[in-house]
Structure 1
Amino acid sequence: MGSRLNPYISFAGDARQALEFYRAALGGTLALNTYEQYGAPTPDYNDKIMHGMLETDDGFALMAADTPPGMDHRPGNNISVSLSGDDAGALRGYWAKLSEGGTVAVPLEKQMWGDEFGMCVDRFGITWMVNITEE
């Protein structure tokens, strides 16, 4: 698979509706994972989207989620850049360079869904997410 770069949008509770709208507009396959599937932090988050991904036949990829409890949803600043794939060495290298001089919000480490994941804001204020899938 290598690595891929794509936008990641945060929503204030309507990620499911937005992703279904984008699928209707762009076509493709939509995969949705709820907070309940991974142990919702609060019962009112059971049906909210922890991670959603739309992949189109034209090669577009769009990821989105509902903003987790305790994090601010800031319209206008709710898009991140996601790097993901199974080339662990390359992705760790990108992480090291992108997080240098920035702020690490989530250290790059194994997560409850089984992948390594990290999130940082680079020195220019851009949020980056790196996800390394298990081979």
Structure 2
Amino acid sequence: MTAYLSPYINWRGQAREAMEFYHSVFGGQLDVMTFADMGGTAMGVAEAEVDWVMHSALTVSDSFVLMGADHPGHVPGEPVPAQVSLAGAAEDEDTLRGWWAGLSDGATIHEELSQAPWGDTFGMLVDRFGTNWLMNISGPAPAE
């Protein structure tokens, strides 16, 4: 059996913009379905929210799928800020640094992407959509 664990992020009216931003950073295939696509106001969604994202999926690879949606006003509660961790091997450093650079656009950097005490390269930021990102690039393998 193959199981997948995919981050699912919620916003209030920003899902399309956020997911299009992530698409520009990570590449891949972005699929978006709005509340209007699924019945809109018949589902209890306010007229002003029918074009919001009911579900989106950004498929970057077989092992990296980022999902997101808007949290409409008729649903109880508020969207909770998400934290997503991206980690990879030293041989993927160029890709991971490129993703870091993309996510950094308009972000608040809490810890610059730099050498960490445990030997890896690590950084933390909150992007312009309020999502917390942790990046860890494994250090080189120890010599045998």
* Code of the aligned partner of 1:53: A
CA, structure 1 residues 45+4, in 2 after alignment: closer, same or farther (shift >3 Å)? same
CA contact (8 A) 1:27 1:57 kept: no
CA distance in 2, matches of 1:77, 1:18: 13
* Code of the aligned partner of 2:49: Y
1:64 partnered with 2:63: no
CA distance in 2, matches of 1:4, 1:45: 30
Structure 1 runs of 4+ aligned residues shifted over 4 Å read: none
- The structure carrying a bigger strand percent of its residues is 1
* Code of the aligned partner of 1:57: S
Q: Which has the larger radius of gyration?
A: 2
Structure 1, unmatched stretches of 5+, are 80-135
* RMSD of equivalent CA atoms: 2.3
CA contact (8 A) 1:16 1:49 kept: yes
CA contact (8 A) 1:23 1:30 kept: yes
Shift of 1:37: 0.9
CA distance in 1, matches of 2:60, 2:82: 25
Identity of aligned residues (%): 35
Match of 2:29 in 1: 29
Aligned residues: 79
* Code of the aligned partner of 1:42: A
Q: Which has the higher contact order (CA 8 A, sep 6+)?
A: 1
